[in-house]
Structure 1
Amino acid sequence: MTDLSLPGPISLRRRFRTAVSRENATALLMLLPSLVLLILVIAYPMARGFVYTLYDGSLLATGRFVGLGNYYKLFMDPAFWHAVSFSFLFAICNIFGCYTIGLGFALLLNKDFPGRGIVRVLLLLPWTIPSLVAVVSWRWMVADQDALINRIVTAFGADPILFLSNGSWTIVVVIVVKIWASFPFMMLSLLAALQSVDRTLYEAAKIDGASSWHAFRYVTFPGIRSVSVVLCLLMAIWTVNDFDTPWLLARGGPADATQNLVVMAYRYTFARNNVGMGATISFVTLFALMALFALVLRATRRSSDAK
């Protein structure tokens, strides 16, 4: 005799749980190669690097366990705080310079004018040139009193400037070169964000009698605010972790004037053969950036919720 009764609630729950468990198992199986790759490429090296911070080791030997001794030595080192101050100055100036120049050119390229495509290609050239070639070229232009820029300066009757021998001038050169190489990315990203802003909002603002400044303040900038925050955070990461510009231009000098945290970590690891301190500097930089980004994203989320 066949049972024609409908399945009860318990049977339906079991079938649902079985289906969900099968879907989860399938999803985990599909994600397993990616998870294994992430563990091998990211998680394991980071864990291994953190272990190095707990030892007073070199490139050839692990050394003895010192716990948090490397962190204590680092925080007591005046050179570390100088590297922190320069890294902060380097990042702030680069973010401000790249955003200002990039936004200005993005607003220009967002308008129709003859030759816009050629101008866009020319402005992207600093970003496409390999960093080694770009920095070496800049060094050739400012290296000594017979360099190209000093020849121009002396042609106007002024004294040559020793850009890479004076700490203040070297900091200026490093910042200028970094802005020159980075602003095209900011420009291109902001241009894409500007093109996504609804055009009808500008028409409504024009009908209401809004000036160009008010249209930018109340229409353009709110439309690109979230993209701007992400771009500034990315630029902060790339600037703090920039090794090529300060090292290839001035080897972190003169007198460690352009030594940022990455250059300092490199010197401890490969010049002083102290892997523990080098890894400690890297992880302190990582923790500081993570804390900064958490604060910025939290403040941005609060301001968005308030509106």
Structure 2
Amino acid sequence: MTMQASSPTATVWRGFARPLLSPDVRTTAILLAPSILLIAVVIAYPMTQGLLYSFTNGSLLKPGKFVGFQNYAKLLSEPTFWHSLRFSLLFAVANIAGCYTLGLGLALLLQRDFPLRGLFRVLLLLPWIVPSLVAIVSWRWLMNDEHALFNQIITAFGGDPVFFLSNSNWAIVMVILIKIWRSFPFMLLSLLAALQTIDRTLYEAAEIDGATRWQSFWHVTMPAIRGISVVLCLLMTIWTVNDFDTPWLLAQGGPANATENLVVLAYRYTFARNDVGMGATVSFVTLGMLLVIFAVILRLQREKRG
């Protein structure tokens, strides 16, 4: 009795399936299964539901009907969306620039030996450690009205009270400053760790070649921390664009929606206007813009390395 030769297709399939059925692959799949299941439940399912909501006109009490891209078209025609987008971009750029400048400057300072350096490191981390609710409400108490501490100090020096949270320009400035104050410790800690990994002999070689401190900083320090700087700026972009606590707890997005970013706008649509579809639409438009920004930055970074 002769054995029938297997077909080429079956041979290729067995060659492809054999590695997948190996003990190592099975063990890896078993170990990863809980994490994949958790990600699917915590992230994938809510995001899928949110995406579906963005194509409906539902509210908090009823699911609504499918309306296609009507919510997206309506959102792009809303002046409040473009105002929130402009403030979100200003908020993110100002916070990243302020946090990076302050964090890098303090990191360079903390590299030096001076008395009580350890104590200063701990104190500079306090804004990041304190819960956001406590920190922002405390700042609000310091500037809330003409009898607040800041205005008492101003009037003690002969000035007029400043209504920080009633004036649109002042409210924007204070939201940005408080966000920088809350965020710079993370940038400081990360950059300090990156600076400590730089080989000291590079600075010695630059000094022998006659480089000034500025030249050593620009040609030795900055190239060495460029990679971590890009990652930190991307993380800070995510956290700033998605920051609800600072503009809401400080000024509820006001006055006159001056400090209303995209996250606050999504909150208003969902809970104040009872329009879940538009709230989900704002969230996914924000997600799409973040993905585009990240793709452009990472592409430019790869081209620069190349």
- For Structure 1 versus Structure 2, the TM-score category normalised by the shorter chain is over 0.9
Q: Secondary structure at the match of 2:125?
A: helix
1:203 alignment partner AA? E
- Could you tell me how far apart the structure 2 residues matched to 1:282 and 1:186 are? 26
Counterparts in 2 of 1:149 and 1:20: CA distance versus 1, 3 Å: same
Which residue does 2:61 correspond to in 1?
Answer: 60
Deviations 1:118-160 (CA, angstroms, capped at 9, x unpaired): 1111111111111000000100111011111111111111111
Which residue does 1:121 correspond to in 2?
Answer: 122
- Could you tell me how far apart the structure 1 residues matched to 2:59 and 2:225 are? 47
Equivalent residues in 2 for 1:251-266 (5 A)? Answer: 251-266=252-267
Q: Secondary structure at the match of 2:21?
A: helix
Q: Unpaired runs of 5+ in structure 1?
A: 1-13
Q: Secondary structure at the match of 1:146?
A: coil
Q: Secondary structure at the match of 1:182?
A: helix
Deviations 1:190-217 (CA, angstroms, capped at 9, x unpaired): 0000001111101101111111100000
Which residue does 2:43 correspond to in 1?
Answer: 42
- Could you tell me how far apart the structure 2 residues matched to 1:151 and 1:130 are? 26
- Could you tell me how far apart the structure 2 residues matched to 1:50 and 1:20 are? 33
Identity percentage of aligned residues? 63
Equivalent residues in 2 for 1:226-265 (5 A)? Answer: 226-265=227-266
Deviations 1:144-179 (CA, angstroms, capped at 9, x unpaired): 111111111111111111101100000001001000
Deviation at 1:48, TM superposition (A): 0.7
Deviations 1:50-71 (CA, angstroms, capped at 9, x unpaired): 0000000011111111110000
Equivalent residues in 2 for 1:162-201 (5 A)? Answer: 162-201=163-202
Deviation at 1:252, TM superposition (A): 0.3
- Could you tell me how far apart the structure 1 residues matched to 2:61 and 2:20 are? 51
- Tell whether 2:73 aligns with 1:72: yes
- Could you tell me how far apart the structure 2 residues matched to 1:295 and 1:215 are? 29
1:68 alignment partner AA? F
- Could you tell me how far apart the structure 2 residues matched to 1:70 and 1:235 are? 29
Deviations 1:93-138 (CA, angstroms, capped at 9, x unpaired): 0000000000000000011111110111111111111100000010
- Could you tell me how far apart the structure 1 residues matched to 2:21 and 2:31 are? 14
2:37 alignment partner AA? V
Q: How many residue pairs are counted as aligned between the two chains?
A: 293
1:34 alignment partner AA? S
Q: Secondary structure at the match of 1:161?
A: coil
- Could you tell me how far apart the structure 2 residues matched to 1:173 and 1:17 are? 60
Q: Secondary structure at the match of 1:221?
A: helix
1:179 alignment partner AA? I
Which residue does 2:206 correspond to in 1?
Answer: 205
- Could you tell me how far apart the structure 2 residues matched to 1:34 and 1:40 are? 10
Q: Which moved more, 1:37-46 or 1:97-106?
A: 37-46
Deviation at 1:15, TM superposition (A): 9.3
Which residue does 2:135 correspond to in 1?
Answer: 134
1:75 alignment partner AA? L
- Could you tell me how far apart the structure 2 residues matched to 1:35 and 1:155 are? 60
Q: Secondary structure at the match of 1:56?
A: coil
Which residue does 1:215 correspond to in 2?
Answer: 216
Deviation at 1:30, TM superposition (A): 2.5
Deviation at 1:21, TM superposition (A): 2.9
Which residue does 2:5 correspond to in 1?
Answer: none
Deviation at 1:35, TM superposition (A): 1.5
- Could you tell me how far apart the structure 1 residues matched to 2:34 and 2:153 are? 58
Q: Unpaired runs of 5+ in structure 2?
A: 1-13
Which residue does 1:297 correspond to in 2?
Answer: 298
Which residue does 1:21 correspond to in 2?
Answer: 21
Equivalent residues in 2 for 1:76-155 (5 A)? Answer: 76-155=77-156
- Could you tell me how far apart the structure 1 residues matched to 2:173 and 2:30 are? 53
Deviation at 1:19, TM superposition (A): 5.6
- Could you tell me how far apart the structure 1 residues matched to 2:16 and 2:56 are? 52
Q: Secondary structure at the match of 1:273?
A: coil
1:263 alignment partner AA? V
Deviation at 1:20, TM superposition (A): 5.7
Deviation at 1:232, TM superposition (A): 0.6
- Could you tell me how far apart the structure 2 residues matched to 1:304 and 1:213 are? 23
- Could you tell me how far apart the structure 1 residues matched to 2:245 and 2:18 are? 55
Deviations 1:179-238 (CA, angstroms, capped at 9, x unpaired): 011101100000000001111101101111111100000000100001001101111110
